[in-house]
Amino acid sequence: MTGTLVLAGTPIGDVSDAPPRLAEELAAADIVAAEDTRRLRRLTTSLGVTPRGRVVSYFEGNESARTPELVAELTGGARVLLVTDAGMPSVSDPGYRLVAAAVEEGVRITAVPGPSAVLTALALSGLPVDRFCFEGFPPRKSGERAARFRELAAEPRTMVFFESTHRIAECLAAMADALGADRPAAVCRELTKTYEEVRRGPLGELAEWAKEGVRGEITVVVHGAPPAEAAPADPAELARRVAEREAAGERRKEAIAAVAQAAGLPKREVFDAVVAAKHGGGGGA
């Protein structure tokens, strides 16, 4: 008989949001794998529970080495509880590697649902929630970040991002450049904590606001792209749009795909417009 891997959500701010089952699992687990053992101690003290099992660290730096050890314990019959600093394991936190390895070994996996910064911010944003996607942390390097946002310019679903307090101003400015300064968004910080704040407005306005500094844990929610615009009557306009994206550093293939998606046209039609503009000396491509 194999053991059980339990993925447990932890409070994202207010400790009283912890589900009752979390305390039960902390007390019953044979092994508690925690992203930060010091934060785990603060949590267990607040919950008034003492883990009876062994407590080990499981974070980005030791995930590769620790995973085989935990899988061996699981296949030997242990009940392993995985917790991260806040929210659900695997969601921009350690956990995926252990879950994948446990699945490979046929280990039973269950979860203790808990608070989620993604869903909390989405609900508070006031933006459409019928369809959304989670994009995690944007790339740290400015060029890669700009390219990622250009890829998402035509994404119709509401988008949710995490970002650090040190990069939020640059992030919002890059979003405004790629997605449009008028695109509605919300910056949610310190969710469920004493200084919780949700700032709503167009990306350009939020980028200006963030220049003064934004502190705390931050989640950004951005409205999806509006319905595809009508195709330009002049092929030269299609070529011009492709040229603009190329000038910003995007490869021609990706630029053509993005323009075609935004215009609701086949990629071949945009490609032909680029070729025609090149041979005719117009369009800038």
Calpha distance 243→275 (Å, rounded): 12
Question: Is residue 1 scored above 90 in pLDDT?
Answer: no
What is the CATH classification number for the domain harbouring 205? Answer: 3.30.950.10
Model-level pTM?
Answer: 0.77
Calpha distance 259→267 (Å, rounded): 8
Q: What is the pLDDT of residue 210?
A: 97
Residue 246 shares a structural domain with residue 205: no
What is the CATH classification number for the domain harbouring 29? Answer: 3.40.1010.10
Does a structural domain hold residue 227? no
Does a structural domain hold residue 285? no
Does a structural domain hold residue 85? yes
Does a structural domain hold residue 104? yes
Residue 54 shares a structural domain with residue 111: yes
42-67: pLDDT as tens digits: 999 999 999 999 999 999 999 999 99
Q: Give residues with Cβ within 8 angstroms of 44, minimum separation 6.
A: 26, 50, 51
- pLDDT-wise least confident of 49-58, 110-119, 269-278: 269-278
Where does a domain end: 183, 199, 222? 222
Count of domains forming the chain: 3
Residue 8 shares a structural domain with residue 84: yes
Phi, psi of 42 (to 5 degrees): -65, -40
Average pLDDT over residues 88-109: 95
Q: Which domain range does residue 39 map to? A: 4-115
Please report which confidence band the pLDDT of residue 115 belongs to, taking 50, 70 and 90 as the band edges.
Answer: very high
Residue 136 shares a structural domain with residue 183: yes
Q: What is the pLDDT of residue 228?
A: 64
Does a structural domain hold residue 229? no
Does a structural domain hold residue 230? no
Please report which confidence band the pLDDT of residue 122 belongs to, taking 50, 70 and 90 as the band edges.
Answer: very high
Residue 17 shares a structural domain with residue 111: yes
Residue 110 shares a structural domain with residue 131: no
Where does a domain end: 115, 140, 168? 115
Q: What is the pLDDT of residue 285?
A: 40
Question: Is residue 168 scored above 70 in pLDDT?
Answer: yes
Does a structural domain hold residue 228? no
Q: What is the pLDDT of residue 226?
A: 85
Residue 104 shares a structural domain with residue 151: no
